[in-house]
Structure 1
Amino acid sequence: MAGANGVEGRRAERRILLGIGGVLAYAALSHALMLHAADRPWAAAALLAPGVLAGAGWALAQGRRGLLLGCTLVLAGLVAWSLAGSQASVQHLYLAQHAGIHVALGAVFGASLRIGATPMITGFARRVHRAGLSPAMAAYTRRLTAVWAGYFFAMAALSVALFAAAPWSAWSLFANLLTPASVALLFLGEHLLRYRLHPEFERAHWRDALRASWRPAAGEDGR
């Protein structure tokens, strides 16, 4: 049984690594398309649809019906706008997608901090650490939820500022390459800091944490 679990774990890890590789390849391709074919309808569809579909998939996995409906409406609007717009309006469309996704994520994480709700990261941690969370661990995950909410809002603001003040190529570099890099750095930095500040946290494999972010906790209702 242990051997079978190990094989399945390695397979899951390979799938996740392939997924990460796909994300990196897509980021590089997106940057190239934004520089050389931003106004082409097919390029707009290739650039816009995956992010919205990923958001819709996460909303569906979390049972968040309102967010799922919002992603569906946004996707329809993006397609219509990309087919009808000029290059300038398509560039604004890319900005709307990048900043809008970050605002939406910031709102979801921020809303989970309201009184009576389960903070987003607290819910993730409970799915990984089956033994339960101590009060200190629960407080840490609540603060971490606030950090992620602040990060998403800050990225949206920076996206708008760069779009307004910097060349298009600089904004594309930020949106397609620096954004996923900053997410990875925040994940890694938090992982290292967590066990330094809270050694009582059970050691969890990174693939378990990733799975937890896509799996709704028992008793959490969608919104």
Structure 2
Amino acid sequence: MEQLIENIGVCRTADLPNPTYYVDALTGEFSSWAYCEEKSPTYRGQWRSEVFQVSDSHPLDLEIGTGNGYHFAHYAKNHPERSFIGIEKKYKPLIQAIRRALNEGCDNARILRYNANYLSHLFEKGELNDVHIHFPDPWLKKRQKKHRLIQESFLKTLHELQRPGSKVEFKTDSRDYFDWAVERFQKSPYQITRLTYDLHGSEFQKENFVTHFEQIFLQQGLPIHYAQLQR
């Protein structure tokens, strides 16, 4: 049976009986840039010094849930002055994301297989700068809402992990989830600096990168809800 790593909800890669190409790629071909659930926490507090080999003042940003990595690669390429870490639980999109970044020549990107509900396993207080959360699972059924990423406890932890002045960018197509999130943003230590229920009809659109999921939702005629928080 697949073992869970410290009960964080991800199976141990080494225990998978029939690994796919993407599973093998995590610990093989892409192991210098993609870290499994056991390796990832070993760099807690040392991402700048040991992994990216940059100064302590160098920006270190995070994307939670990279999907297939179009935004991940775009951001890393367009911000070579910042180090960028992605978190993704699923093997295929994880490998797709880091491969896209490497194909763009990005040596400032790494990706981790981990559960984003346990960020304090991966980062020390004050280790992170900006954080991107794009289209997380909305968990729409009433009994599922406890599984949503945006919770008061999550925001408290994230706030502690970020440096003063850092930002959080949140996008979703779900009005129900957005209302839920905004209610929790308002109760959190963050300041809401941007908020719109129609990103593509707002003044913020010109700075926006359209993700893969975002394009699908736009084609379906769904508005994109967007908020930016400041630490």
TM-score > 0.5, shorter chain as reference: no
Which structure's residues are more often strand, by fraction? Answer: 2
Over alpha carbons, which structure has the higher Rg? 1
Give the TM-score, by structure 1 length.
0.29
Tell me which of the two structures has the higher relative contact order, counting C-alpha pairs closer than 8 angstroms and 6 or more residues apart.
Answer: 1
